[in-house]
Amino acid sequence: MQTNFTPAQLEDPHVAESEKILRKCVHCGFCTATCPTYVTLGNELDSPRGRIYLIKDMLENDRPADAEVVTHIDRCLSCLACTTTCPSGVDYMHLVDHARAHIEKTYQRPFMNRLTRGILAAVLPYPGRFRLALRLARIGRPLAGLLRRNPALKPFAAMLTLAPRRIPARSAYAVSGSVQPVAEKRGRVAILSGCAQPVLDPAINDAAIRLLTRLGVEVVLPRGEVCCGSLVHHMGREEQALASARANIDVWTREIEAGGLDAIIITASGCGTTIKDYGHMLRLDKAYAEKAAHVSALAKDITEYLATLDLPKQMPRALAVTYHSACSMQHGQKITMAPKLLLKAAGFTVRDPAEGHLCCGSAGTYNILQSDISDALKARKVKNIEATRPDVIATGNIGCMTQIATGTATPILHTVQLLDWAYGGDLPEKLRHLPLG
Ligand code: SF4
Ligand code: SF4
């Protein structure tokens, strides 16, 4: 694609990077076929190609964002299906990140939209505040129907609907320190505790820690770790996201210098995609660029790391697992086979749903801020999953688990919970009602 930036504009490294990305796009439109918003809405401006044109026009003309650009960029899930499909290697992720930051700096959103986004950014990344918000949501749940009738209040209705009916107790591992292996030691890793996940489902990291220590890996839970920054990063709140990244890099760098780390384990693929991008996010920060690149290189999804440990093959079990590949897993991190191969080796029958490349509509805060499109995508995803007649659904991202669970009665677990059970752990609570013989 031809671009027309001036030399003065290209002195801004963010603009220079976006210009390079834009030049790679050859307008072929292959990406439209796999874009969930184009598939749902059928509007070119809600396709990757349409958004690329809007971003190009806005940046080239040095214009503040307007309502049209904001509408179509806000509808983008950042699912990155377009990057998997694109034959020219267009780095849409960093282009849309730049556009979102530009929107945040130059556009005054309507009051209710600003308020909603402000609340989400002030609550979700902080486990204590998030836990309190979930308690309040339980009380407010009966109001969801009423709130849904007012378009400006729909996000609050979505929050109430998504909030779990039961808030699990805190994990026994919810203190910083180190969990020693119970077999001969063969590794040392840190595990990201995260922000929303330990409140919504602490059983996920508990399973990962049990499994890793049983396999001979010491697991460190470093003091001072914060949210990875992904939630606010996708809202264009760049400074808040970078502050989180720097805080975590300091924490992990201390740990690397103190005892060495083979990996930084992440059990939520949405967080993994962002942490693997820290090196890029902080490339212009002289004090952090090198440390950030090192942290990104050490970041591993739990299944990526487990795949290196050569787990023994287990006897088959009569349990059909439909694997939902989170967008951040398959498109963001390009991890497609490891989770399924691990589940198969652990004895499960693994099934793939149709349209596995399409997002479930969760996408961070998308299911709150864009609940209509999100609901349509959820219904499509659940229909495709249920057509495979699973006993259980497995996935690697808490956002997808929360989203899909509100649309089906089939139990949904994190992949590592099934692996923990298969390799000596207890039967996960969500499966206790199943006749497992
Ligand atoms: S990130 Fe997803 S929703 Fe956004 S343009 Fe690409 S395919 Fe479409
Ligand atoms: S597939 Fe790639 S090159 Fe083709 S229009 Fe989409 S982003 Fe541009």
d(CA 334, CA 81) in angstroms, rounded, equals 10
Among 31, 54, 56, 76, which residue has the most ligand 2 atoms within 8 Å of its CB, making it the best to mutate? 31
pLDDT at 437: 53
Ligand 2 lined by 35 (C-beta under 6 Å): no
Output the domain CATH number for residue 401.
3.40.50
DSSP-derived pairing of the beta strands 177-179 and 217-221? antiparallel
- CA pseudo-torsion sign 397, 403, 407, 409: positive
104-117 pLDDT per residue, tens: 999 999 999 999 99
DSSP of 316-375 = --S-EEEE---HIIIIIS---SHHHHHHHHTT-EEE--TTTTS--S-TTTHHHHTHHHHH
Residue 224 phi, psi (nearest 5): 95, 0
Ligand 2 lined by 118 (C-beta under 6 Å): no
User: Which whole number is the average pLDDT over 264-285?
Assistant: 98
Q: Which of 106, 122, 150 finishes a domain?
A: 106
Q: Which of 106, 129, 156 finishes a domain?
A: 106
pLDDT at 175: 78
User: Which whole number is the average pLDDT over 32-43?
Assistant: 97
Nearest ligand, CA 47 = 1
222 closest CA partner among 198, 256, 180? 256
pLDDT at 10: 97
Q: What is each CA distance from 56 to 63, 79, 108, 236, in whole angstroms?
A: 10, 20, 20, 17
Q: Whose CA is nearest to atom 5 of ligand 1?
A: 48
d(CA 33, CA 75) in angstroms, rounded, equals 16
Q: 322 pLDDT band (50/70/90 cuts)?
A: very high
325-338 pLDDT per residue, tens: 999 999 999 999 99
User: Which whole number is the average pLDDT over 181-191?
Assistant: 95
Output the domain CATH number for residue 37.
1.10.1060.10
User: Which whole number is the average pLDDT over 386-396?
Assistant: 98
417 closest CA partner among 204, 172, 198, 191? 204
Mean predicted lDDT score pLDDT of the chain: 96
Cβ-contact 51, 340 below 8 angstroms: no
User: Cβ contacts of residue 107 below 8 Å, gap of 6+?
Assistant: 64, 65, 66, 70
d(CA 311, CA 306) in angstroms, rounded, equals 8
- Asked whether residue 170 is domain-assigned, the answer is no
Residue 258, pLDDT > 70, answer yes
From the alpha carbon of 26, which atom of ligand 2 is closest?
3
pLDDT at 86: 98
Choice among 60-69, 157-166, 171-180 with the minimum mean pLDDT = 171-180
Task: Give the count of domains, the chain.
Answer: 2
Cβ-contact 219, 209 below 8 angstroms: yes
- Asked whether residue 401 is domain-assigned, the answer is yes
Q: 44 pLDDT band (50/70/90 cuts)?
A: very high
- Asked whether residue 341 is domain-assigned, the answer is yes
123-164 pLDDT per residue, tens: 999 999 999 999 999 889 899 999 999 989 999 999 999 888
Residues of the domain holding 32: 7-106
Q: 435 pLDDT band (50/70/90 cuts)?
A: confident
User: Which whole number is the average pLDDT over 221-230?
Assistant: 95
pLDDT at 259: 86
234 closest CA partner among 107, 372, 80, 373? 80
